[in-house]
Amino acid sequence: MERWHIDWQGWWVVFPYLETEAGFKLMPTAQYRDHVTAAKGRREGRRVFAGYPADFPNLEAVYPHLWAYLNTHEAALRGRENGKYRVGREDEWRWYDLARPQSLEASSGRKIVMQLLGRSSQGASDTMGNFFQAGGKGGGAYGVQLLDNALTKYFATLLSSHPADFFIKTSGIVYSGGYYSYADAYIRDLPIPASTSAQRDCLSRLARELTALTGELRGLEVQARDFPDSVSEERRGTGELPELDELGNLAQSAGLPQRLEANKVQEGGESLLGKPGEVTQRVGKGTLTLGAEHARLVREVLAQRRSIGRDELLALRVPERGADVRAYLDTLAGWRTRMAELRGEIGAREAELNDVVYNLYGLTTDERAVVERFLERF
């Protein structure tokens, strides 16, 4: 979680439920459709899927591939919660269920996802209800759902503003390392200023723009970090991928350390033993001799990653021809130019947002200065 951006890492939640008028219901399976729990003492057994309509589908019938996946991991799933779902236990029928299926409707709805701890407010709107968050009072993230969904982006801008951050930091608690809590206990008392529909529309627009700009920036940062592989993927998609070879096949290396650090690479002159135009880079006590264009590429890889393993570097697949390497470097330069533009645009939108919120709270110039000076320090 970060400001204006949810950094999804490709993790999926298996959600074996169907939405009904009564909320989400766990999908039954043929094995347990008519299952009755064992009677205990004076308590009679119960049919676990009692009340389900006759046409309510079984999980394996609707999602056969998901069912096959779950069956592959049945032993591990039954072993959760200290074996709570093992055969013979009261909850054996729930072995593919979430352990604590709570607030499913809220979690899958429109919300603001907030980082619990941060040096500043870190939140973003989940307008599609795509994200489930695993929180807890000690860390992680949690969701804030408004009674009026139309105000989600408006409230997200308030939470991300300097006045709100000032309020939360001066009324809450600070942890070691300069981290503050942005849990519900500390944002629930945030005063919500009166606003016109035009002001709310303005802030909602800024939220949309900041979300889009931050998403583009983070995407470019990932591409730059993954250079040159990211350029190759882009070229492959357009059918313009040049001939590639492993860097180790295009270079001579001697005595390179296991890990190459960007701040320990020294440029040498032209190699006396290599081909004309080759240069030697000194890395610690080792050397790397390769063509001038490939030497530039190595410098850029280290500049982006700061550190890379020797074997990983030499295994990078790079263009064979110098002209193609220069084209790769031009692509990276273009990404960097756009990233600088995006940071400027984000800064301008943030300033506009803060100005609108300051006006909503009716803060004077002197009061704004107090807030800004505080936030520069904390």
User: What pTM did the predictor assign?
Assistant: 0.85
**Entry field: residues in the chain:** 378
Residues 160, 353 contacting (CB under 8 angstroms):
yes
Residues 18, 227 contacting (CB under 8 angstroms):
no
CA distance 152 to 305: 37
The DSSP letter of residue 68 is H
pLDDT tens per residue across all 378 residues of the chain: 899 999 888 889 899 999 888 889 999 999 999 999 988 766 788 899 998 998 999 999 999 999 999 999 999 999 999 999 999 999 999 999 999 888 888 888 889 999 999 999 999 999 888 888 765 555 688 888 888 888 888 889 999 999 999 999 999 989 998 999 998 889 988 999 999 999 999 999 999 999 999 999 999 999 999 999 999 999 999 999 999 999 999 999 999 999 999 888 887 655 445 566 788 888 878 899 999 999 999 999 999 999 999 999 999 999 999 999 999 999 999 999 999 999 999 999 999 999 999 999 999 999 999 999 999 999
Residues 294, 325 contacting (CB under 8 angstroms):
yes
CA distance 121 to 374: 15
